[in-house]
Amino acid sequence: MKLSEFAGYGDKMEQLMRSVQAGRIVHALLFTGPHGSGKRTVARLFAQSLVCTGHDRPCGVCPACKRFLNGTHPDVHVLRPEKKSIGVDEVRALIDALALRPYEGGRHVALIEQADRMTPSAQNAMLKTLESPVGDAMFFLISDAPGGLLGTIVSRCQTVRFSDLSVQDCAAVLMRRGMEPGRAALLAGAAQGSVGRALEIDGDEEWFSLREQVIRSIESLKGPATVAAAAVPLEDRKGGEGDILDIMELWARDLMAVQSGGAPYQAAEKERLGACRVDGGLLLRGVVRARKQLDSNVAWSGALEQLYFGLTEAGNSGRTVLSWQR
Ligand SMILES: [Zn+2]
C-alpha cells in the first residue's frame, strides 16, 4: 500500500513524507485520532519509507522493506504495551539501542504504539530523549488518547490528526484491500467510515447474525397487530440497541434507494429490498427519533415499539406506508 492510495489523506501525507525524508521537520511525529482511523497504518508507512532502499518509497519489495514488514529490521524499534503499560525499562532499552550506529547505515526508527500507555517515569525518560535526540533517530508516537501524554512530550512532536474517513472513502480503502464492493459498502456504512472498525465487523459473525435478525424483524411487520411480536426478539438483545439502530439505518437507506428507483448499496439484496413493505424514509426518521429517546433514557422496548408503530400507522406521520395488503 502507498500513502497516495490512502484515500482522504494522500496529498497531505505525501507532503509530510517529503519533509520527513528531506530531514526538514522535527524528529518526532505524534499520530492521533479515533480508533480505526488509520493512524497506525500511516505511521508504519512513514517508518517503512525511511528505511526503504528502493525507488518510490516505500517500495515494499527491497530487502529493507521486507525486513520491515516481517518485523526483523534491525534499525526499526517498536514499543507497545504488552500488558497494561509501557514501562521505563522498555524505554531505557530503546534509548540504549538508538545510541548504537544504525545497523544498515540509514537511520533508526522508533514506533511507540498506544504511546499514552507509557508510565509517568517512562514518559519522562522518553522526554529526555526527545529533548536531546541521539543521532537522527525518528520517533513515531501513536495514540487514541493523547490526553494521557505529558504536555512536554506533545510539544516536542509534530502532531498529525486523523479523523474517520467518509463512508465512500472508507469503502474505497476496503475494496483496495480486496473486499467485494457490496460487502465494502455495507461495512463502511456500519463502521461510519472507520476502516479499523469495518475490519473488526468483517470478522464478527455475531454482527452478521444480528443484521439478519433485524432485517427479519422489519420484514415481519404486517400492520399494527404484528408490532409486539416483531419487536420481541430485538427487545431481548439488551446492550445492542446502538448496533440494532445502526443496522436499521443502513437498511433504511437501501430501502429509500430502491423505493425511489435508484441502486442500493447492497446490489445483491435488491430483490429482498424490493419485497420489503416498510417505507425507507419512515424507517430512517424512526431510527433518528429512537436514538434521541434512548439518549433521554426512554426504555429500549418502548422506543422500539414506538418506532414500529410509526411504520404501521400512516395517520401518525401523514405519509402513506407501503401497501400492507398485497
Ligand atoms: Zn523498499
Encode pLDDT of 109-162 as tens digits: 999 999 999 999 999 999 998 887 767 889 999 999 999 999 999 999 988 888
Q: For the residues 191-199, what does the mean pLDDT come to?
A: 86
The Å distance, Cα 30 to ligand 1 centre, comes to 23
Q: For the residues 23-36, what does the mean pLDDT come to?
A: 81
Peptide bond between residue 58 and the one before it cis (omega within 30 degrees of 0):
yes
Q: For the chain, what is the mean pLDDT?
A: 86
**Per-residue model confidence (pLDDT) at position 4:** 58
Give the start-to-end residue ranges of the domains of the chain.
3-161, 204-317
The Å distance, Cα 254 to ligand 1 centre, comes to 43
Which carries the bigger pLDDT value, residue 19 or residue 146? 146
Residues with CB under 5 A from ligand 1 (ion): 52, 54, 59, 62, 65
211 forms beta bridges with none
Alpha-carbon distance 326 to 324, whole Å? 6
Which of 112, 116, 84, 83 is closest to 98 using CA atoms?
112
Encode pLDDT of 301-322 as tens digits: 999 999 999 998 653 444 445 4
Say how many C-beta atoms besides its own lie within 10 A of residue 12's C-beta: 12
Q: pTM of the entire structure?
A: 0.65
**Per-residue model confidence (pLDDT) at position 325:** 36
Which carries the bigger pLDDT value, residue 24 or residue 39? 39
DSSP 229-277: HHHHHHHT-TT-HHHHHHHHHHHHHHHHHHHTT---S-GGGHHHHHH--
pLDDT at residue 211 tops 90 = yes
Residue 323 pLDDT grade (very low, low, confident, very high; cuts 50, 70, 90):
very low
DSSP 27: S
* Residues 167 and 265 sit within 8 Å (Cβ to Cβ): no
Largest CA distance in the chain: 79
**Per-residue model confidence (pLDDT) at position 110:** 95
The Å distance, Cα 262 to ligand 1 centre, comes to 45
Q: Which three cell numbers stand for residue 152?
A: 512536554
**Per-residue model confidence (pLDDT) at position 125:** 94
* DSSP E strand boundaries for 80-128: 109-112
Q: 3-161: which CATH architecture? A: 3-Layer(aba) Sandwich (3.40)
